[in-house]
Amino acid sequence: MNVKNLLLAITGGVAVTILTGLIHNPNPMLIGATYYGYPFAWLIRFIIAPQYFPWRIDVVNLVADIVVWIVIIGIVLSVLTRVKKGAGH
């Protein structure tokens, strides 16, 4: 994988992870909270007793989500690059 594809995969992975923060993840880990993010729920909104600021970020799941999306986008870019080179012959 060249540097351009690597940077695109990292940028795309971070962007997709942030966008998945809009997707509700029905994860019953804690009752009284709503979870967002996919495939791992990394954004948590407390509904019961939210204290002062109801939003929390699970850093481990956030990093795992970013890594998963970087790998997926990297694989897609690699396949597209190989198909493009194969079509040029």
Q: What is the pTM of this model?
A: 0.84
DSSP annotation string for 63-78? HHHHHHHHHHHHHHHH
- pLDDT tens digits along 19-42: 999 998 886 667 778 899 999 999
The token duo for 64 is 């795992």
Evaluate if residue 73 carries a pLDDT over 80.
yes
Asked whether residue 51 carries a pLDDT value surpassing 90, the answer given is no
Q: How confident is the model at residue 2 (pLDDT cuts 50, 70, 90)?
A: confident
Domain with 57 in it: 3-87
**Count of domains forming the chain:** 1
pLDDT of residue 86: 75
